[in-house]
Structure 1
């Protein structure tokens, strides 16, 4: 019988936009430097040449005449304009000419540094920013630009030193202590970060930001008591702020102080009764306490809340996916998947992960339909189309398989696997010509993937058989088995078709025998093996094999074959009885069955 097979931190920057600059930067008016624009090689070479020329030793610039001063100012303003327009080659052309006239002007050095930073020339950016700082050591913007150039080159020690100089030397720059603390944290310099935060507290008093950063440092130092103390301080200062309460509960939970975790999580729920994060914390704590019913209740309440972030729900469900199928977890996973869809009905990823859960728990039809809902929201995910057509094939739904594979191929015409399933769909619809066309095209796309090509070959063997092109059918099967000798679907179908033709029966027997040895209770393989024995006139062996198959199947073809064997063994009444039973079993029997029954005689 035939078988179907299938960052560091970003430093804020702003600067003078005119010739005459302010001596002191506003502490909280920093803007972010724009993303660098990639220059051509020619532009980079020209900028390097100009930079080298501008950095060459030169005699001290004489006092500018009124005319030269006017020219220099005009060049500077023009250069600033081109920086704003993001035309950095022209900006640097004007600014370097202004620099040639006024190399000791801090604003010119600053703008040259900014243009270099924005164009990706970090080394020159740092050099000119350093010069700007030296020329005007009281301008905060110059330090900020220098620190960004240094951090962009991963010169974190230098960037830290620049920030330290800024807060030390520039009056009114105390707010930059927080960025300095972040830099220390990024380098895991925890004592220095704590000392910097202490300075910030001395200057600004007790602030939530200081307590929070200090708490993170204590956690890195594994100093739980101090981290919890900071947390209690944050909660006391912000009694209605749930994020601090939740952070405290999480700390208790992660450090196995479960009663405290429950107490604080319930405190968060008194502030915000529907808070899903508090529910998740309780669910985890109850799980650790081996209270599965309480844990699951909290988990379901959290998942029903649309405020729970879809990505967090997906991450939790992915954790369950790794444990499925599991009879104990299947119901919970399905409930959580359904809740995810209810709480986020317009999120494709909600349906996608729900489909995954349904697939792994054996609900294939529901999974296919759920994936289709995901695709209605976002049809750009190839993996979803792949799952849909795979399930169509497993469900043996040829019409759906063709519709869905055709739609998928409109979006992904170069995906070999979609052509494979399209070919399978045509085979199921008994359209062998279309099947061969799709399979041959897909096989070409699978070049370089021997295993996938073997799958195509196995299907081509079936399709060419239906076209009665035995030579191409045999060649396809031989190719498939050359790559995958244990492709049992190909072994079964190839051997069965050989038996139908009465050709290479010993070879067919050997191939079919391998499948039966591997799957001794598979009724399809047993029927194939029996039919080969029948063709070899080993009727007793065929009978044994078929009687084994009939323990697990009511397939009409198997029953009819059993009747044929009984006839050959001389048990004619019993044979006719089996033929009659085959007719009652439904479709699948041969066109000769009615004639056998009517005339009570074997026809082959």
Structure 2
């Protein structure tokens, strides 16, 4: 929740913007026909977004004419966008050799050294820029900042003195010196600079804020609050005053005042909604989870009051409510968010997960189709839409969505891949594709061999198909070892033992499952009846089958009806 980030931005490097070069009107091009043709084709492909082909064509141009300015510039920008910083550096070096007096080429070279964190070489570049334009203050500042990054604090401080001698004192100079002293943990010097800044600029809020943040950096929150005293009256529209006070109260563990100050900042239009959202998630990183959630809830309430028609505000409000376990509140907020802006894919994901978890199957199907229309390549949306159809026993529809989710998924996202494979395992079994089901579960276990959900379902469906019962028993036993007292897993193990003909042990495990079930399911009760029948306890078995039939709420179950009617086990 630190509010010092706006100081750092004044010192940070600026990275290049990818803008494709146009021919300088003052330059006369004498390219050969081959060069002109290749370059023209490259520009057309750049405009069409075919960067790979354009890259090849630009490289061809430079193989014919290494001095072609626009080809060099465009290829360098492509390399930079690809994070091929070595390639970009080689072109920038070529440009500074061809046109050593052009500052923009040296700036481009500086950008590559920044990306490569080659600070020693970067210092030399700024020396050249200062030589080319000795009246540009930013080059001196960038060199000083680079010296500090390179561990040359003494030289950086001397350069700041040179800057003051040449250009005079400025806000940026106070900020730069203060930042350097803070990095060195030089409390006395950092505070001295901050106090001098306040004395020099008492009528601007950021001088006072720098002093307060310096105190906070050196774990002096009470001094920080003291330095901010009365500033809200003097600068009523500066949100960083209450934000910084909130930081101080956070350090003092005064959570009620943290919330109070944050609510003040959130009520100000001068703090953008994006900064407010960023602050919410900073709050949620706090070390006291209970208090952090409470504060986040209070400030997101202010957020939606200020921006009732902003989808982002509703989305963040819903996210915090969900983290508090307020699923109904979160659900309503997510619905409002996607109604206001259908392009928030994360909100669609959260909405669908809530609907599937709470058995709102038809809603999940409808919203899933709507979300897929917006984000056809989103594997999470495809997965939960598949779940919605799987739970509705519309297996072919589920299969289509889940297979598409598999095609679109990031293979490195192991958690997602396990969910997709396990859902496919369930679906393939339901459509009598046993071999495909086994393959899907096996793929999931290749990722996580201890995933109890996969171990349990794989074992259960093998048992239902009477396949590889020893393997099923091993997996089911493992799931119970990993997660004891899970009634569903205990029922599966009992059923595997039943299929193996080990009825006594099966009864022991089904009794555990019943004991650990608050409300035993129809399947669990039926299984116990099956086991008792095999143990010769026919009357008890029939009684349990009748009980299971009542628990089905009248749903069709021909096999169970036959057991009750004929008082005989049906395989």
TM class, shorter-chain normalised? 0.5 to 0.7
- Larger CA deviation: 487-496 vs 564-573: 564-573
- In structure 1, which of residues 209, 217, 232 is the aligned counterpart of residue 177 of structure 2? 217
Q: What displacement does 1:514 show?
A: 2.1
Alignment partners' CA distance in 2, 1:267 and 1:544: 73
- Larger CA deviation: 326-335 vs 363-372: 363-372
The CA deviation string for residues 330-375 of structure 1, in whole angstroms up to 9 with x for no partner, is: 3333333333333344444434444443444444554454344444
Equivalent runs, 1:321-400 vs 2, <5 Å: 321-322=284-285, 326-364=289-327, 366-400=329-363
Q: What displacement does 1:267 show?
A: 1.4
- In structure 1, which of residues 231, 235, 244 is the aligned counterpart of residue 197 of structure 2? 231
1:561 is matched with: 527
The CA deviation string for residues 444-503 of structure 1, in whole angstroms up to 9 with x for no partner, is: 445966956665443333223322344544454455556654443333233323333444
Asked if 1:529 corresponds to 2:493, the answer is: yes
Q: What displacement does 1:567 show?
A: 4.0
Asked if 1:549 corresponds to 2:513, the answer is: yes
Q: What displacement does 1:268 show?
A: 0.9
Conservation of the 8 A alpha-carbon contact between 2:361 and 2:388: yes
- Larger CA deviation: 506-515 vs 271-280: 271-280
Conservation of the 8 A alpha-carbon contact between 1:402 and 1:426: yes
- In structure 2, which of residues 466, 472, 479 is the aligned counterpart of residue 515 of structure 1? 479
- Number of residue pairs matched by the alignment: 466
Q: What displacement does 1:284 show?
A: 1.9
Alignment partners' CA distance in 2, 1:477 and 1:257: 56
Alignment partners' CA distance in 2, 1:211 and 1:546: 75
Runs of at least 5 residues in structure 1 that lack an aligned partner in the other structure = 1-6, 11-34, 49-87, 90-119, 128-145, 167-175, 202-208
- In structure 1, which of residues 46, 52, 77 is the aligned counterpart of residue 30 of structure 2? 46
Structure 1 residues 518 and 589, CA gap change in structure 2 (3 angstroms): farther
Asked if 1:194 corresponds to 2:161, the answer is: yes
2:84 is matched with: none
Alignment partners' CA distance in 2, 1:254 and 1:364: 38
Equivalent runs, 1:271-282 vs 2, <5 Å: 271-273=234-236, 275-282=238-245
Q: What displacement does 1:220 show?
A: 2.5
1:25 is matched with: none
Alignment partners' CA distance in 1, 2:325 and 2:370: 25
Alignment partners' CA distance in 2, 1:568 and 1:325: 56
Q: TM-score, normalised by structure 1?
A: 0.64
Structure 1 residues 320 and 581, CA gap change in structure 2 (3 angstroms): farther
SS at match of 1:414: coil
Alignment partners' CA distance in 1, 2:191 and 2:410: 62
2:366 is matched with: 403
Conservation of the 8 A alpha-carbon contact between 1:359 and 1:367: yes
Equivalent runs, 1:135-214 vs 2, <5 Å: 151=107, 154=110, 155-164=125-134, 182=141, 185-186=144-145, 188=147, 189-198=156-165, 200=167, 210=170, 213-214=173-174
2:388 is matched with: 425
Q: What displacement does 1:520 show?
A: 1.9
The CA deviation string for residues 229-255 of structure 1, in whole angstroms up to 9 with x for no partner, is: 32332454x2xx434333333333333
The CA deviation string for residues 29-75 of structure 1, in whole angstroms up to 9 with x for no partner, is: xxxxxx783459xx997389xxxxxxxxxxxxxxxxxxxxxxxxxxx
Conservation of the 8 A alpha-carbon contact between 1:443 and 1:456: yes
Equivalent runs, 1:492-511 vs 2, <5 Å: 492-511=456-475
- Larger CA deviation: 527-536 vs 211-220: 211-220
Alignment partners' CA distance in 1, 2:298 and 2:514: 39
Alignment partners' CA distance in 1, 2:104 and 2:469: 79
2:39 is matched with: none
The CA deviation string for residues 82-105 of structure 1, in whole angstroms up to 9 with x for no partner, is: xxxxxx99xxxxxxxxxxxxxxxx
Conservation of the 8 A alpha-carbon contact between 2:215 and 2:221: yes
Alignment partners' CA distance in 1, 2:28 and 2:355: 57
Conservation of the 8 A alpha-carbon contact between 2:191 and 2:214: no
Asked if 1:269 corresponds to 2:232, the answer is: yes
Conservation of the 8 A alpha-carbon contact between 1:523 and 1:552: yes
SS at match of 1:550: helix
2:272 is matched with: 309
- In structure 1, which of residues 399, 413, 417 is the aligned counterpart of residue 376 of structure 2? 413
Structure 1 residues 326 and 584, CA gap change in structure 2 (3 angstroms): farther
Runs of at least 5 residues in structure 2 that lack an aligned partner in the other structure = 1-9, 14-18, 33-68, 71-93, 111-124, 148-155
1:300 is matched with: 263
Alignment partners' CA distance in 1, 2:413 and 2:263: 46
Conservation of the 8 A alpha-carbon contact between 2:243 and 2:265: yes
The CA deviation string for residues 263-286 of structure 1, in whole angstroms up to 9 with x for no partner, is: 232311222456532222222222
Alignment partners' CA distance in 1, 2:435 and 2:138: 76
Alignment partners' CA distance in 2, 1:322 and 1:256: 19
Q: What displacement does 1:316 show?
A: 2.9
- In structure 1, which of residues 438, 460, 472 is the aligned counterpart of residue 424 of structure 2? 460
Structure 1 residues 512 and 36, CA gap change in structure 2 (3 angstroms): closer
Over the residues paired in the alignment, what is the CA RMSD in angstroms? Answer: 4.2
Structure 1 residues 567 and 421, CA gap change in structure 2 (3 angstroms): same
SS at match of 1:341: helix
Q: What displacement does 1:590 show?
A: 4.7
The CA deviation string for residues 81-133 of structure 1, in whole angstroms up to 9 with x for no partner, is: xxxxxxx99xxxxxxxxxxxxxxxxxxxxxxxxxxxxxx96666554xxxxxx
